[in-house]
Structure 1
Amino acid sequence: MNYQTLLTTIENETLVITINRPDKLNALNKTVIAELSSVVDEVYNNHAIKSAIITGSGPKSFVAGADISEFLQLDPSQGEDLARKGQQSVFDKIENSPKPIVAAVNGFALGGGCELALSCHFIIASDNAKFGQPEVNLGLIPGYGGTQRLVQVVGKGRAMQLLMTGEMISAEQAAQYGIANSIVKQEDLLNTVKAILQVIHTKAPLAIAKVIECVNNFDHTQQGYDFEIKKFGECFATEDLKEGASAFLEKRKPAFTGR
């Protein structure tokens, strides 16, 4: 499928999605949001795709926020509609994808860009990456899940400080806070993420999907444990569990089929 604002390639069953507006530092606008929604649908539905990477074009920016020029004429109901549609069509859809979607953050991840990275299952950052939620500088707050996902990752106190100051933090700070899993040289970024995903591809696809589902439904009360127990039980209906257990007992590598 051809896109106006995205570049896509499939390599070793991984779809690499590159947001391609380098002259705008890959800022999100209505077209990018619509096309991200479509390409994530492709991740869900294309059996040739086992995982995806989201990154930005050029050496400077992953996504440096939203296109602010689109905000000037919005009234409150239109602003709410903008956030709801974006959340439902892109950010929540990424977070709940049954296949791993990883953010390869190659520069600025600010505002909606930070929210986009946080909606992915995990983040690997280049050494020049910068993260921040600077919406308060515009009289706004995050609208694509930033106040919710950031708290889950860094805790209430750090999230409050980042959200209220709008400050930008380095890749090193992001790793210290738990936002980024690791930091690599920019030229090694994509290959590093691809290598991690190749390891994940060797695991049972239905089990990976259930891991994602359980983690996304984290609850420190009994409800969270009960959800995990239910999903654990569902694994016993899969051919992959029988194959994985048999392969272990037979001291061979499993051949998972996703059934």
Structure 2
Amino acid sequence: GIVELRLERPEARNAIGKEMLKGLRSAMDKVGADPTANVVLVASSVPKVFCAGADLKERRLMGPSEVREFVNTLRATFSSFEALPIPTIAVVEGAAFGGGLELALSCDLRICGESATFSLPETGLAIIPGAGGTQRLPRIVGRARAKELIFTGRRFDATEAVNMG
């Protein structure tokens, strides 16, 4: 009953591109249709990284309508994690930045190793976290702290994450 979903794109530090997003979507559809699934673990096969976020190199090659479609699909996919009727657990070792943090936030629980680091660096790139992080983070850490983390894009470690809740 334990479904292990592994992020495995080492050449891009597990950055989420179109193909990886398609794979995540497909995995969620399979889990949703599997009556034997009791829990989903989301982890990385890549050492020292959970997920570097959206693949910005790929995103630069997209037109505005493609970007909008990608972000909408990313948000819907993460919402499907949140809506699963079974527990979802993000197992975070290493970096969880941008969409990687948003993926972890969409899970019911987050377990992180001592090397875990987190941030929403999008504002430093003149974009807004688009996959639900601006809604999920305040529910978990409170509105004021979420604003500070979103506005500054500052990195925080596993100890601080635990202290924030």
Question: Scaled by the length of structure 1, what TM-score is found?
Answer: 0.61
Give the deviation of 1:47 after TM superposition. 1.8
1:73 & 1:138 partners in 2: Cα distance? 16
Is the contact between residue 26 and residue 57 of structure 1 (CA under 8 Å) also seen in structure 2?
no
1:153-232 equivalences under 5 Å are: 153-178=140-165
**Does residue 1:29 correspond to 2:13, yes or no?**
no
Give the TM-score taking structure 2 as reference length. Answer: 0.95
Aligned sequence identity (%): 38
| 1:53-68 superposed matches below 5 A | 53-68=41-56
Structure 2 regions of 5+ residues with no counterpart? none
In structure 1, the partner of 2:36 is 48
Instruction: Return 5+ residue gaps in structure 1 as ranges.
Output: 1-12, 179-259
State the distance in 1 between where 2:46 and 2:65 align.
Answer: 35
After superposition, residues 135-150 of structure 1 pair within 5 angstroms as 135-150=122-137
8 A contact 1:114–1:131 mirrored in 2: yes
The whole-number CA distance in structure 2 between the counterparts of 1:81 and 1:48 is 32
Say whether residues 1:78 and 2:78 are aligned partners.
Answer: no
1:61-115 Cα shifts (integer Å, max 9, x gaps):
0101111012224444433222112111x10100000111110011101000000
Contact 1:33 1:86 (8 Å CA) reproduced: yes
Residues of 2 paired with 1:71 and 1:139: CA distance? 14
Asked if structure 2 preserves the Cα contact closer than 8 Å seen for 1:128 and 1:171, the reply is yes
Amino acid across the alignment from 2:14: N
- The answer on whether the counterparts of 2:18 and 2:70 sit within 8 Å (CA) in structure 1 is no
Q: Distance in 2 between matches of 1:109 and 1:152?
A: 18
Q: Distance in 1 between matches of 2:139 and 2:63?
A: 30
Q: Which structure has the bigger radius of gyration? A: 1
CA-based RMSD: 1.2
Give me the whole-angstrom Cα distance separating, in 2, the residues matched to 1:23 and 1:72. 18
> Once the 2 structures are TM-superposed, how far is the Cα of residue 23 of structure 1 from its aligned partner?
2.4
Q: Could you say which residue in structure 2 is the equivalent of 1:203? A: none
Tell whether the 8 Å contact from 1:43 to 1:51 is kept in structure 2 after alignment. Answer: no
Task: Determine the structure 2 residue equivalent to 1:237.
Answer: none
Equivalent residue in structure 1 for 2:116, among 103, 125, 129: 129
